[in-house]
Amino acid sequence: MLRWALIQAADNTTLRDLTRNSGIARQVVDRYIAGESTADGLAAARSLAEAGIDLTLDHVGEFIAHLDQAQAAADVYRELLDRIGDDGLPAGVSVKPTQLGLLLDREVCTNLIADLAKRAHAADVHVTLDMEDHTVTESTVELVEEAHAAGFTNVGCAVQSALHRTAEDVRRLTRAGASLRLCKGAYAEPSHLAYQRKPDVDRAYLESARYLVAEGVEPRFATHDHRIVAAIKREAALLGRDRSTYEFQMLYGIRTDMQEALVADGYRLRVYLPFGEEWFAYFMRRLAERPANMIFFARALTGALTSR
């Protein structure tokens, strides 16, 4: 019930405006969002890179209403790619297809992804297409396949273990040569399309993780669950998979202790670093993604209140 309420709140404009105008709330949000400007995002990226952490930069925003918004988002990513290349940052970019106009004009979206992929390739940067809700899952998978068919092998995507179809998508995209980010999913999907119970989502995650450890192309395991991290480590060790050929991914501001421990133990870690003005929906979905996130939020909010 709480998860559903938080996901629904992601689209609540009144709550969004209240949060934007609350100094206390913004103190909490700033722990998980690296600012609103490109300069903010890059500054946070440099700080993490100095600690030996790789990044994937996400200019937050999704389900745009006008194609000029798609062009504006693409411009931000073009600037990011230039700066990543110029500064030698250990960073990739994560892009939501609906932010590039997928639901408005598929051809425009495809062309923008191709342009970004070409620029990213020149800068030796990986592009991940974020997986959004089930209405665009097939289109996102197809966009990755089309990118690879066009020679853009630096394009991969996220896949969500909550969806029933994901096990097959993992195999389908691996056959295409795509690098995948395996996550659990942050959308309230219907029961005929997605698992509703956490144990089922976790089980599906581990099944896909085992396949990716054995067969995946530079798999990326996005989780804050220490039990799942331990299981992936064991599976990789059993199969003799070198640590340099896969990575763990975690969200900016979440489980920083675990992030530091992974780096100290010699594992590859990539932090998903969101920034931009449209941060509210992202923030609410992160709270909904797992109960522990809500605990972190409550602790941070308590700290903000007591410091007044």
DSSP symbols for 194-228 = B--SHHHHHHHHHHHHHHHHHH-SS-EEE---HHH
141-148 contacts at long range (C-beta below 8 A, 24 or more positions apart): 141/169, 141/172, 141/173, 143/97, 143/102, 143/109, 143/110, 143/113, 144/173, 144/176, 144/178, 145/172, 145/173, 145/176, 145/178, 146/110, 147/113, 147/114, 147/117, 148/176, 148/177, 148/178
Q: Is residue 130 part of a domain?
A: yes
SS3 label, residue 94: strand
Q: Would 305 be classed as within a structural domain?
A: no
For the chain (308 residues), the mean pLDDT of every run of 10, in chain order, is: 46 55 63 90 94 94 94 97 94 98 97 97 96 97 97 97 98 98 91 96 98 98 97 98 97 92 95 89 68 56 53
The confidence score (pLDDT) of residue 296 equals: 56
**In a domain? residue 145:** yes
- Asked whether residue 2 is domain-assigned, the answer is no
Q: Which domain holds residue 254?
A: 34-278
Q: Give the per-residue pLDDT at 277.
A: 86
Which tokens belong to 118?
Answer: 């070409």
The pLDDT value given to residue 10: 47
Tell me if 81 is assigned to some domain: yes
Q: Which of 232, 230, 283 is nearest to 258 (CA)?
A: 230
Number of domains in the chain: 1
Catalytic residues: 130, 181
Flag whether 189 is in a domain: yes
Would you say 69 and 98 are in contact if contact means Cβ atoms under 8 Å apart?
no
CATH code assigned at 210: 3.20.20.220
Residue holding tokens 């809700």? 133
307 located within any domain: no
Evaluate whether residue 203 is within a structural domain. yes
Q: What pLDDT does 25 receive?
A: 60
**Quick one: pLDDT at residue 9?**
46
Q: What is the pTM of this model?
A: 0.87
